[in-house]
């Protein structure tokens, strides 16, 4: 049954909306953003004035960037005006040799030898290493447990496979966005340390 037919066969509106959102979320971040942009169209959204007003406050631009090896972790803030943030970096008085390339101290919880933080594109890393991961990952169940944002249906499909290799292949097929790819790589570093260290060299 197609996704459309499945939605049309439902009679409870709330269940239909939840299923529609599950379908959209399962298709990745870009499809979610496109759906929100579609809802902003007055022709699509002519019957619900409340939704039309709310959707105007949703930022779908996603233009967040960093340079020099920096990472940006930023939620989209709804109903707020975007403003520049200025940070003055000064040293306490009396210090003459201020380093120009400051690094924050690494906390114990952030330490990972050549860990996932050195990977720039998690989806590419997983794609490039698919065959090795499928063949070598043996500790698959704790990895699945760590993937909090994976849909229950996807988890059930992965667990239904009889071998570790088939489970891993199915799990890699479920990874359809960068954030889920990062979660999977983090879980691999947690539960398959030696394999991941070997793959980084």
Residues 196 and 119 in one domain: yes
Residue 11 covered by a domain: yes
Residue 146 covered by a domain: yes
pLDDT in tens, the chain (201 residues): 688 888 888 888 888 888 888 888 888 877 888 888 787 776 666 667 777 777 777 776 655 555 555 555 544 544 445 555 555 555 555 555 555 554 444 443 344 444 555 788 888 999 999 999 999 999 899 999 888 878 888 889 999 999 999 999 999 998 888 888 899 999 999 999 999 888 874
Domain of 154, in residue numbers = 115-200
Residue 7 covered by a domain: yes
DSSP characters for 61-100? Answer: -------TT-----PPPTT-----------PPTT-----S
In the chain, the number of structural domains is 2
Q: What is the pLDDT of residue 134?
A: 93
The contacts of residue 188 (CB under 8 Å, 6+ apart) are 116, 133, 137, 143, 195, 196
Q: What is the pLDDT of residue 104?
A: 47
Q: What is the pLDDT of residue 111?
A: 40
Q: What is the pLDDT of residue 107?
A: 40
Q: 30-39 contacts: CB < 8 A, separation 24 or more? A: 30/177, 33/60, 33/62, 36/60
Q: What is the CATH number of the domain that holds 154?
A: 1.10.533.10
Residue 82 covered by a domain: no
Residue 43 covered by a domain: yes
Residues 119 and 195 in one domain: yes
Residue 107 covered by a domain: no
Residue 124 covered by a domain: yes
């Amino acid at each position: 049954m197609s996704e459309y037919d499945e939605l049309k066969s439902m009679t409870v509106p709330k269940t239909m909306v939840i299923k529609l959102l599950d379908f959209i979320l399962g298709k990745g971040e870009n499809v979610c953003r496109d759906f929100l942009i579609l809802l902003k169209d007055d022709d699509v959204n002519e019957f619900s004035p409340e939704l039309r007003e709310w959707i105007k406050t949703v930022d779908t631009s996603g233009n967040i960037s960093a340079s020099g090896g920096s990472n940006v972790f930023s939620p989209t803030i709804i109903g707020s005006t975007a403003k520049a943030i200025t940070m003055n970096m000064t040293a306490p008085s009396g210090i003459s040799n201020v380093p120009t390339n400051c690094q924050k101290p690494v906390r114990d919880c952030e330490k990972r030898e050549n860990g996932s933080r050195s990977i720039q594109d998690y989806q590419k890393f997983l794609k490039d290493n698919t065959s090795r991961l499928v063949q070598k990952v043996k500790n698959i169940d704790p990895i699945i447990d760590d993937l909090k944002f994976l849909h229950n249906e996807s988890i059930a499909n992965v667990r239904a496979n009889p071998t570790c290799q088939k489970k891993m292949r199915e799990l890699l097929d479920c990874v359809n966005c960068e954030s889920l790819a990062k979660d999977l790589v983090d879980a691999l570093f947690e539960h398959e340390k030696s394999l991941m260290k070997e793959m980084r060299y």
